[in-house]
Structure 1
Amino acid sequence: MSTDTDNESSSNSCKAPDSDGEVAEDIAIVAFERKMDTAEDIVDGIGDRYESIDILEYHGDVFEEYWGEYDCFIGLMASGIAMRKTAHLLDDKWDDPAICVVDEELTWAIPITGGHHGANQVADDLASMGAVPAMTTASEAADKQGVEKQAKALDAHVVNGDSTVATNLAVLDDELGPIERLDGPKAVLVDDDVTVLKRNKDDGVVLGCGSVAGADVEQFHTAWEQALDEADLDRDDVEFIATGTRKADEEGMLAAAEEWGLGVIAFEKETLEGFEGPTPSRSKELIGWPGIAEASAIAAGSEHDLLAEKTRYDEAVTVAIGH
């Protein structure tokens, strides 16, 4: 059985073009007959985040039969079954479908292959249904944003997948720094330890964003809409949201970005210090951080410039527009 879903409300991670297998768009839930009700619950719970989500009844060769037709399999079964039935099919992490297993009670969501290529994404989505994502990829375990995850947030794709081993190690060691943006036409010569990201669409503006702790989704929505309206722009002009690492876990911002279909990139303090904006900031005096909204907008913009200086909305959310 299959269910095709409307992608209008899906998150950025599910909408970005998937030339290198970095996101999951077409999902198959593999379930035993007795677990079909749970499979239907999963479709109802997260199906609108994907282009399509099918339910396949388990039999011994089901993975082999459908291998290559889906970005990710959700195995509604013990992890050992999924591992034994797919081990001989695995060839290359950039081409293989991802696999995430979940138990019948939706207690655990465990990516077992392709964590950075769809399985972590699916596990995160299953968390909205109560499952605990059991991430074992190093960058997620260290609460850092690996290059594949940065590519998703930037609506880009990795051109040279083998390079991510070296660059993600640099992420773990805090040695990678911000992604460099290069406008063409140019020819670029890189070594094997340089990851190249290619944008999936034309450059737009970046919303640099700071907030008070606990600002809610609607406050972010209102702030972004007003900032764009004052600049004679709309949400289709926005590439992504930029902020500082100290604000990267703001639930209201993350939820608002997901509803807008945008990714979030977070910059370290040391990076933002090199891109301070023109408006004085109290955070500089109080905690030593430059103003997050302007500095992150400048750091993230393709021209490292401000289109609109920061404005504070509802005494809760600060927004600047970079380009």
Structure 2
Amino acid sequence: MSTDNDDAGAHCSTPDSDGEVAEEIAIVSFGRKMDTAEEIVDGIGDRYASIDVLEYHGEVFAEHWGEYDCFVGLMASGIAMRKTAPLLDDKWDDPAVVVVDEELTWAIPLTGGHHGANQVARDLASMGAVPAMTTASEAAGKQGVEERAKALDTHVVNGDSTVATNLAVLDDDLGPVARLDGPKAVLAADDVTVLKRNEADGVVLGTGSVSGAKKEQFLDAWESVLDDTDYGVDDVEFVATGTRKEDEDGLLEAADELGVGVVAFEKDTLEEFEGPTPSRSKELIGWPGISEASAIAGGRDHELLVEKERYDDAVTVAVGR
């Protein structure tokens, strides 16, 4: 059984060499569990470029190793572990493996948590499964380097560095992702993680809002501002905002629905890239206008494509590139 989605949904984005995003999924199921496998396809299949169902036999993982970004084993974790362990070589190249039980109670990433397994487990949570994350940063409720890379629509160039930088995340010592615009030559140590953008030509949605703005208000605002450009939702690299707005539920829910990350810039960064439109927030609380400044800061060329526009008296949006 195979499903191909030309217009893959929420979590689908441009593949990168490090396999951080799972797009091509295989559900490996015993014959007696095929109804559950088909239920999973119906429930989350539109979030991926393709999703296949493979009937289990002893060599099924070995036969298809390297063909998929992630295997979802509809089976006991012990079976999946025994059959995939001899195939593992390098975490940056190996497919992710998740197991889920027939009742969709638990979704357990076994390998490749930061390279697609956690993502698939979260998607299975929308069907009622509890995602059992054991990667250190997720267990501590913190955003690891690979998760930051996905939020920025980038990929990790030097994978070995993430051991040190994720330890810094756990110790709250990493700080924000630094941006370096070239051309420049850089001498970097082994504990410096380098991120590279996935898209050659995308845009950033700089966004501010009143407190408590709803998901639908953000979605409508983003759609409206993009209608006036040559870009669409698929061209959005990420949503940018300020740290004082990073916990807005409506913004986070809207970004999740579009399958894009949210990047929150510190006040000093926004001041460096302040936009041209006067903002009352600077008079009242000393912050520059978030939408324009974050759009400029996040854009690859620090260019403001669309100045801020206000929607529904709740959300302001600017477009950067």
Residue from 251, 254, 260 that aligns with 1:253 = 251
Residue from 175, 178, 181 that aligns with 1:177 = 175
Q: Partner of 1:264 in structure 2?
A: 262
Residues 155/142 of structure 1: CA separation in 2 closer, same or farther (3 Å cut): same
Give the Å deviation of 1:238: 3.4
Give the Å deviation of 1:169: 2.1
Q: Partner of 1:157 in structure 2?
A: 155
Worse-matched range after superposition: 39-48 or 26-35: 26-35
Residues 58/160 of structure 1: CA separation in 2 closer, same or farther (3 Å cut): same
Q: Contact 2:8/2:48 (CA < 8 Å) preserved in 1?
A: no
Q: Partner of 1:100 in structure 2?
A: 98
DSSP-derived class of the 1:15 partner:
coil
Distance in 2, Cα, partners of 1:213 & 1:78: 45
Residues 60/281 of structure 1: CA separation in 2 closer, same or farther (3 Å cut): farther
Give the Å deviation of 1:74: 0.6
Q: Unaligned regions of 5+ residues in structure 1, if any?
A: none
Q: CA RMSD in A?
A: 2.8
Distance in 1, Cα, partners of 2:244 & 2:170: 17
Q: Partner of 2:26 in structure 1?
A: 28
Distance in 2, Cα, partners of 1:54 & 1:243: 37
Worse-matched range after superposition: 85-94 or 306-315: 306-315
Q: Partner of 2:221 in structure 1?
A: 223
Distance in 2, Cα, partners of 1:181 & 1:202: 17
Residue from 41, 48, 57 that aligns with 1:59 = 57
Q: Contact 2:7/2:49 (CA < 8 Å) preserved in 1?
A: no
Residues 211/308 of structure 1: CA separation in 2 closer, same or farther (3 Å cut): same
Distance in 2, Cα, partners of 1:221 & 1:304: 24
Q: Deviations over 1:53-112 (max 9, x none)?
A: 111222233222322221111111222222222222222111111111111111221111
Q: Partner of 1:6 in structure 2?
A: 5
- Provide the TM-score with structure 2 as the length reference: 0.86
Q: Contact 1:284/1:291 (CA < 8 Å) preserved in 2?
A: no
Give the Å deviation of 1:243: 2.2
Amino acid at match of 1:20: D
Amino acid at match of 2:239: I
Matched, 1:114 2:112: yes
Residues 147/179 of structure 1: CA separation in 2 closer, same or farther (3 Å cut): same
Q: Deviations over 1:109-139 (max 9, x none)?
A: 1111100001011011111212121212122
Matched, 1:145 2:143: yes
Residues 179/233 of structure 1: CA separation in 2 closer, same or farther (3 Å cut): farther
DSSP-derived class of the 2:254 partner:
helix
Q: Partner of 2:166 in structure 1?
A: 168
- Number of matched residues? 319
Q: Deviations over 1:173-194 (max 9, x none)?
A: 3333333333444443322111
Between the two proteins, what is the percent identity of the paired residues?
A: 75
Amino acid at match of 1:8: D
Residues 284/93 of structure 1: CA separation in 2 closer, same or farther (3 Å cut): farther
Residue from 73, 78, 83 that aligns with 1:85 = 83
Give the Å deviation of 1:24: 1.0
Amino acid at match of 1:105: E
Matched, 1:317 2:315: yes
Runs of 4+ in 1 over 6 A off after TM superposition: none
Residues 54/9 of structure 1: CA separation in 2 closer, same or farther (3 Å cut): closer
DSSP-derived class of the 2:12 partner:
helix
- Provide the TM-score with structure 1 as the length reference: 0.86
Q: Deviations over 1:282-317 (max 9, x none)?
A: 49856x866543443243233445444433311221
Q: Deviations over 1:200-238 (max 9, x none)?
A: 2224332111334443333112212333455x4532553
Q: Unaligned regions of 5+ residues in structure 2, if any?
A: none
Amino acid at match of 1:6: N
DSSP-derived class of the 1:99 partner:
strand
Worse-matched range after superposition: 27-36 or 258-267: 258-267
Distance in 2, Cα, partners of 1:168 & 1:290: 31
